[in-house]
Amino acid sequence: MSRYEVKFSPRVISRQRKVPKIRRIADLLEEVYGPKRWERKVDPLSQLIKTILSQNTTDSNSLRAFQNLRERFPTWLQVHNASVQDVAKAIRSGGLAQIKARRIKEILVQICHQYADCDLSFLSGWPTWRIRDFLAQFTGVGEKTIACVLLFSLGRPVMPVDTHVLRVSKRLGLLPQEANASRAHHLLQAVVPANLVYSFHLNLIQHGRTTCKARNPSCKGCSLRRLCPAYPILLAPHDQREDATR
């Protein structure tokens, strides 16, 4: 276990206490990173493929892969008609190109054969549970990918959990230390108020990238330190290093 992992299991607060704490955390994060307002940037099928490309890579690499794919194939029907090798070449910057290309092709084969226009905009009229079931049928589409489509493209208050959200939520005592990403989706979904999901999700990610990093977290300058049970534990190695240099 890394010294930056919390070496204790903080008592996870009750749901009754968790919601007010989440509201306070959300307010503090918005003070630092600004409020986020939902706006749909892409259609559901584009968001689905964009999220698949984001798996196991950086945002910059996945964005480049998505842009390259759209430049090479302006429509999803063209991607459907292309070979796996040509799709893989277009998305190479996103990593795991062969695997992702096959998954994208398989998804498009199913969708384009069932819906001639290769479009999933009709999902906006479906209830959330039905959309979940529909998307879950595709290989390589898990809870995080489904949540991203629901939140970012369809405006549903569904909380995606990536590595940053998982790490920061555990340190803040919102999740038990042993919770995996799958369980975290359900636990956070049950306690994050619907009107906060979008901004809370994006700001938690930004906080995880800039302050509450996996290694060398910037605890002393963290706006959430007074609410964080992990703060004194994570701060200790930093203080010890400072003492050693004196």
Domain boundaries, the chain: 15-36+160-239, 44-153
Q: How far apart are CA 66 and CA 100, in angstroms?
A: 12
User: What is the per-residue pLDDT across 75-129, written as a single tens digit (0 to 9) for each?
Assistant: 999 999 999 999 999 999 999 999 999 999 999 999 998 887 899 999 999 999 9
Q: By C-alpha distance, which of 219, 164, 226, 198 is closest to 25?
A: 226
Fold match, 15-36+160-239 / 44-153: no
Using a pLDDT cut of 70, give the percent of the chain over it: 89
User: What is the per-residue pLDDT across 213-232, written as a single tens digit (0 to 9) for each?
Assistant: 999 999 999 999 999 999 98
Q: By C-alpha distance, which of 163, 166, 177, 171 is closest to 217?
A: 171
Phi and psi torsions of 105, nearest 5°: -60, -45
Q: Which residues contact 120 (CB under 8 A, 6 or more apart)?
A: 43, 44, 45, 48, 111
Domain spanning 44-153: CATH 1.10.10.10: no
185 or 237, higher pLDDT: 185
Residue 160 CA to its chain's centroid (Å): 5
- Give the dihedral of Cα atoms 155, 161, 164, 169; nearest 10 deg: 110
> Amino acid identity of 58?
T
> Amino acid identity of 218?
S
Tell me the mean pLDDT in the region 176-203: 95
Using a pLDDT cut of 90, give the percent of the chain over it: 80
Contact 56, 96 (CB under 8 A): yes
Instruction: Pull the structure tokens for residue 184.
Output: 């975290």
Contact 108, 87 (CB under 8 A): no
**pLDDT of 153 above 50:** yes
Half-sphere exposure in the Cβ direction for 34 (13 Å, CA): 2
> Which pLDDT does position 245 carry in this prediction?
38
17 or 145, higher pLDDT: 145
> Which pLDDT does position 60 carry in this prediction?
92
Among 100, 105, 144, 170, the active-site one is 144
> Which pLDDT does position 15 carry in this prediction?
65
Does 50 participate in catalysis according to the annotation?
Answer: no
Residue 244 pLDDT level (bands cut at 50, 70, 90): very low
Question: Among positive and negative, which fits the CA dihedral 82, 85, 87, 89?
Answer: negative
Radius of gyration of the chain (CA): 20
Class of domain 15-36+160-239: mainly alpha
Q: Which residues contact 79 (CB under 8 A, 6 or more apart)?
A: 69, 73, 87, 104, 105, 108
Threshold 0.85, pTM exceeds: yes
Tell me the mean pLDDT in the region 2-7: 58
